[in-house]
Amino acid sequence: MSWNRRSLDRPTRRIALAGALFCGLTSAGCIVIDDAEARDEAEEVREDLRDAADDIAESITDALEEIGEHMSDFAEELGGETLVDQPIHFREFYDFLPERAGNLRRTSREGATGGALGFHMSVAEAEYEGRSGAEVEVSIADIGAMPVIGSEGFVEWLDLSVDEESDRGWARTIEYEGYPAMEEFRRTRGDRGRAEFTWFVESRFVVVLDARDVTIDELHELRDAIDTDALADLRDREGR
């Protein structure tokens, strides 16, 4: 089931990067300059930055379109119907991204809603930092408007079973809060390492934690701080 991180990873990282750059660029407009000539030059720079910000905003849409293009081929193979016509707007997922969880503190938050070719989705992301260099990226995606999730093939896919273990860590499919999940952990130093935890809520929402330099307990604390039951209550919510 590690397919989900690979399929979401590249587009959502682009969304996160675009969001961060957008904030950085637009914040340049807050600078106050007294000299008239310097103000004129600054205004030209700001115009350039606004143009760049527009390009970045377009890249977010491009990222979501890329998801739609990849998913369209997959949906043709599996068939199926959508749960909803439109995904929930990404800002509604912000409440599911806690400010703190144990030693981890949220340092950024961004997202996007869009799509192409009749395939639409929303993604909200947050980054967390903690002790000993711990870093975690959390993504919540609504794929309810993609035909693939209503197919028999998708349901069968969720039934995949993985159980691997070595001295360095493990990878296994489990059940979390009553939903199919995948947990992976690879030690890099002591009890810390790279970790991923992914679970599917009501066959509509995909929640992914991708972590570096964490203990498995730190990862579980953040995972448990995300209200899965409240997310499940949104299963039939139509986006606007």
Minimum mean pLDDT range among 49-53, 80-84, 156-160: 49-53
10 Å CB burial of residue 99 (0-12, 13-18, 19+) is exposed
User: What is the CATH topology of the domain spanning 1-240?
Assistant: Protein Transport Mog1p; Chain A (3.40.1000)
pLDDT score of 119: 67
28 neighbors 46 (Cβ within 8 angstroms): yes
105 neighbors 128 (Cβ within 8 angstroms): yes
> How many Cα atoms sit within 13 Å of 128 on the Cβ side?
28
> How far apart are the C-alpha atoms of 119 and 141, rounded to whole Å?
13
**Mean pLDDT computed over every residue of the chain:** 74
Query: Does 226 have pLDDT greater than 80?
Result: yes
**Section 125-138 average pLDDT:** 95
Max avg pLDDT among 59-63, 78-82, 196-200: 196-200
pLDDT score of 53: 41
* Total residues belonging to the chain: 240
Tokens of 15: 């969304």
The residues spanned by each domain of the chain are: 1-240
Tell me what percent of the residues of the chain surpass a pLDDT of 70.
Answer: 59
Tokens of 131: 């002790």
Q: Which pLDDT band, with edges at 50, 70 and 90, does 14 fall under?
A: very low
Tell me what percent of the residues of the chain surpass a pLDDT of 90.
Answer: 49
Bigger pLDDT: 231 vs 52: 231
pLDDT score of 65: 53
pLDDT score of 120: 80
Q: Report residue 175: phi and psi, to 5°.
A: -115, 130
pTM passes above 0.85: no
Q: What is the pLDDT of residues 156-212, one digit of tens each?
A: 556 678 899 999 999 999 999 999 999 999 999 999 999 999 999 998 899 999 999
Bigger pLDDT: 123 vs 17: 123
Looking up tokens 């377009």 gives: 58
> How far apart are the C-alpha atoms of 114 and 87, rounded to whole Å?
9
Q: Which pLDDT band, with edges at 50, 70 and 90, does 29 fall under?
A: very low
